[in-house]
Chain A
């Protein structure tokens, strides 16, 4: 499905390059943002504590300096704790010709800005007959963040995938954090950019100038027995599981979706059609999660047997014993894969 690619920027594939830098997931995003700000004076960022370099240091360059020192407080805007207005102002800025990056600290607080994101940003272009567009990137960090309990640990990608007008992105590596943030900034429409809070310090190679298209998955392992599809932090548990499966003689195709909407149906359908088994793994709650959408699509278009693995429908508990019930590790992925192979 080629329609899965929105506004493709000039793309080189992520071929290993000796000029790659080693950056953290957070620094990779800061690099993409600063390059975009350098190239286009209309790009601005707004949110709480940005002047300090962001809550997670994601507004700090690799040299440790906060981006505000480079771009000034008119472009890296420290805001009051006013989520509705941070997002609403982002919509207004966008309609008036700017390209705002709206920082919501953790995705959970985007619920304080839900009208602005769902009814205003997402609908504007359609509702007004294409008169305006909202080139806004909402950075909504997702995921379990050790011992942060029920209001700071949620993953809402399925909610936003459900909303017409929103693009939803969830990078798993520094290279994708960099490459996909560039694509989000170039998209011209609202993009929900979901970074995982427990990936911020993850180090990896980043090649400046290598952007990634939205809606294009990445294949991480090849095999003919089963297809494993995942995104964000769960990709790392899934690759670990694939290695364990390989040791047992099971060959898995591992696909990092990278974009939740649009999603790379072509890659998933091709793989699941070939292996005959699809397991989708996500950190968010399994019930009504995005895994259901993928499983249903694969079941509609191929003869593959499908299964989902996500969190139980419970709030994330604080105590480690409770939190771990909501986490999905490689061992569970292996068990779910073996069970599916027996079906």
Chain B
């Protein structure tokens, strides 16, 4: 579904999910050298929570063109991609809360969120690690003659690790059906990416150096992302081989939910908020006379996520014996 209202629905579901996850992570956790206040509520989401707030248009615009049989790998910032690929928000929230009903049975949490039933093969805690996996998945699709493609989201920081080059080269020499999507939010953790990256428009330029055509797009314009993705995905389905989409966006929040991002210039943040993709889409819908429909979609998303939180909060934690399950073993036991 690629009409603006559908794209908007995906974006506000992601936004509502991220906002709820952010609230649920406050307190409790000690990270980034900070301790939570002694009187803080125990956090429902523990551990590092990387929010994609502000980047929703990339996930929504790209995944709108994917089917459940298409495969996807993601980053440490993977909630939006997972929702957009068709995962269920309740099971996702359960995973973030570490509950047994979560997609990963509470074993993975936010950084490893996955729903294989819709082809979402996993968020990843290791930067750039998703690219070789997507390439391998695409290789399998090709070998098995399946009518599907693989898509891989990664950040602008990820292009500085070697596996980026290896994955792109591999995809190109075997002409694999894979779309690389660089979600360029201009920062890597807490460090600006530009001075850390040689060349300009480096994700595109590096792809082109390997003969992989790259398309650049305003990643905060969901229609533009959707149109670009439509073309690239159609081309890949028709046998073009790998393509790269370079989407320029902005991360509204700190690196992790408890990072106040004081290192960021407030003027830059204020300017970026003016191009918030969700607001832009809502204004465009209003201009097209769909303000009421947009308001309904937003209310539905908020209700959906509130229900997901309520369910997850009441859900049980996994039993300790689960810690020993889902592991390859030759029967010798875990202390052998």
Contact = CB atoms under 8 A, between A and B. Distances in A.
Instruction: Tell me whether A and B are bound partners.
Output: yes
Interface of A: 26, 48-49, 51-52, 55-57, 60, 78-85, 108-109, 112, 145-152, 198, 200-201, 286-287, 310, 312-315, 317-322, 324-326
Contact of B107 (A49, A52, A148, A319): A319
Contact of A318 (B98, B160, B189, B336): B98
Given A78-B196, A80-B196, A147-B109, A322 B323 contact: yes
The 5 A-B pairs at the shortest CB distance, nearest first, are namely A147-B47, A319-B98, A147-B46, A319-B106, A318-B109
B112 A149 contact: yes
B111 A83 contact: no
B81 interface: no
20 contacts: A80-B188, A80-B197, A146-B46, A147-B29, A147-B47, A148-B48, A149-B107, A149-B112, A151-B111, A200-B33, A287-B336, A310-B335, A313-B335, A314-B334, A318-B109, A319-B99, A320-B46, A321-B318, A321-B322, A322-B98
B314 interface: no
B185 interface: no
B324 A318 contact: no
Given A80-B196, A150-B107, A318-B109, 11 more contacts: A60-B33, A81-B188, A82-B160, A148-B48, A150-B112, A151-B126, A152-B48, A201-B33, A319-B317, A321-B323, A322-B323
Contacts of A55: 32-33, 189
A238 to B, nearest CB: 19
A51 B190 CA distance: 9
A51 B192 CA distance: 11
A82 B162 contact: yes
A322 B322 contact: yes
Contacts of A150: 107-108, 112, 125
Contacts of B189: 48-49, 55, 81
Given A82-B160, A109-B126, A146 B47 contact: yes
Contact of A313 (B35, B48, B112, B334): B334
Nearest to B47: A147
A49 B190 contact: yes
Interface residue range, chain B: 35 or more
A319 B318 CA distance: 7
A158 to B, nearest CB: 15
A95 to B, nearest CB: 21
B320 A318 contact: no
B237 interface: no
B28 to A, nearest CB: 9
Given A55-B32, A84-B162, A201-B30, A318 B327 contact: no
Residues of B contacting A: mostly: loop
B320 A324 contact: yes
B196 A79 contact: yes
B188 to A, nearest CB: 6
Nearest to A309: B335
Given A81-B160, A201-B35, A321-B317, A152 B125 contact: yes
B323 A314 contact: yes
Contacts of A49: 189-191
A52 B125 contact: no
Contacts of B324: 312, 314, 325
Interface string B17-60: 00000000000011011010000000000111000000000000
A318 B323 contact: no
B33 A149 contact: no
Interface of B: 29-30, 32-33, 35, 46-48, 98-100, 104, 106-109, 111-112, 124-128, 157-158, 160-162, 188-191, 195-197, 263, 317-320, 322-324, 327, 334-336
A212 B51 CA distance: 42
Contacts of A145: 47
Q: Interface centre among A51, A318, A320, by most B CB within 10 Å?
A: A318
Contacts of A312: 323-324, 334-335
B109 to A, nearest CB: 3
Contacts of A325: 320, 323-324
A145 B29 CA distance: 10
Contacts of A322: 98, 106-107, 318, 320, 322-323
Contact of B128 (A26, A57, A81, A148): A81
B30 to A, nearest CB: 7
Contacts of B320: 321-322, 324-325
Contacts of B126: 108-109, 112, 151
A320 to B, nearest CB: 6
A82 B202 CA distance: 15
A277 to B, nearest CB: 19
A318 B104 contact: yes
Given A80-B160, A201-B33, A314-B323, A148 B196 contact: no
A287 B336 CA distance: 6
B47 A149 contact: yes
Contacts of A82: 160-162
A146 B197 CA distance: 32
Given A149-B112, A152-B125, A26 B33 contact: yes
A57 B323 contact: no
Given A80-B160, A150-B112, A152-B125, A318 B335 contact: no
Given A48-B189, A81-B188, A317 B106 contact: yes
A41 to B, nearest CB: 24
A201 B33 CA distance: 7
